[in-house]
Copies of this chain bind each other. A is one copy, B any other.
């Protein structure tokens, strides 16, 4: 098989007219397909329906500590919810605080607090001329949106198959006191599905930041979100690593049950050192009357313990695996060996990341849209929506049905081929 770059102009033109015919045929169907959102499907939501029965009017709503979960009180979470999420996040129970339904909200509030109050006594960031965050790219658009909202300058750091390029991370963090943070999705990363290697985590823990208020924003959103029983990535637990290296305060770890129970009604948590948590509690007691304890109790009683959660995640995997397979097998079959795109088959998480030929991503997404397929906006995986190579496209296979995914991926590969040929013909 020859790559597209090896084809003659005539061959490309032939191929193009054939592809266009196929594309127009699909387009004529007037389909509406969406591979843009990392959103669980209805079938996945149904897995947790029994959680709706766990609490009812005849249930005891007192948690193990003897607190009536209906009333005011308890700032940082009821014990059984803390235990469940601590096990999920692989940290001691005393090192987490439970929040509301959105871990994004915890991250936002963490940065908002750093802006107005600094971090453990440091100068509030709003009084500094320049605050920078490192952003491994491609990455999660909602992380970048938070730092952009607060006027924080974002610095791209390229991802490698083992995590962010640590030479660059070390150089910037250890020398530049305006670098206050780095966004990480360390396991089954969004969008590439990469898990940081042992070496990468060790190097994170051994950072010697120029800024005392530098923190690693470790968003372990997909910690238990494996696709396979037999092929699972392993990630070293970062809190303990930082502690071992004498920097216990250097990391905030975030997670939630959004893609475990219900996306809109899960529970989120932060894990951090004692000193960091003490600072957060100081804010929390001013900010809120406490988070929803009934929902915490509902989760704790439904999952019972981490084993219950692991079992539950197997059922999610059973639904997600064939969807990932549907996309990946079409990519393999249609684009393999053509030299016009690359991707990684992830072992977990919610995304497949596709790298098109440079300068093609926006056009591919636009082309797919013509045929009724919504993809995540090209560029969204980069700070300021700006992919310098215009190459990365995020594919989210979770929400559509397998049948829809098959058609959607056909449209996608047709779009990739057409746009790439047009690009090559321009040369």
Contacts and interface: CB of A to CB of B under 8 A. Distances in A.
A288 B104 contact: yes
Contact of A116 (B52, B71, B126): B126
A396 to B, nearest CB: 12
Contacts of A57: 49-50, 52-53
Contact of A101 (B74, B100, B108, B115): B100
Interface stretch (A2-10, A145-153, A169-177): A145-153
A68 B55 contact: no
Contacts of A290: 102, 264
Interface residues on A, range: 35 or more
Contact of A263 (B42, B56, B71, B146): B71
Given A124-B126, A264-B293, A265-B292, A149 B286 contact: yes
A116 B101 CA distance: 24
Nearest to A259: B72
A45 interface: yes
A16 B56 CA distance: 54
Interface in A67-116: 68-74, 100-102, 104-105, 108-109, 112, 115-116
A72 B37 contact: yes
Interface in A40-70: 40, 42, 45, 48-50, 52-53, 55-57, 59, 61, 68-70
Contacts of A71: 39-40, 42, 45, 262-264
B265 A289 contact: no
A151 to B, nearest CB: 9
A291 interface: yes
B262 A294 contact: yes
Contacts of A100: 100-101, 291-292
Interface in A275-291: 283, 286-291
A287 B146 CA distance: 7
Contacts of A292: 100-101, 264-265, 292, 295
A258 interface: yes
A423 interface: no
B150 A116 contact: yes
Given A100-B291, A263-B289, 14 more contacts: A45-B70, A56-B56, A70-B264, A72-B264, A100-B100, A102-B288, A104-B289, A108-B286, A116-B150, A126-B127, A258-B289, A264-B294, A265-B294, A292-B292
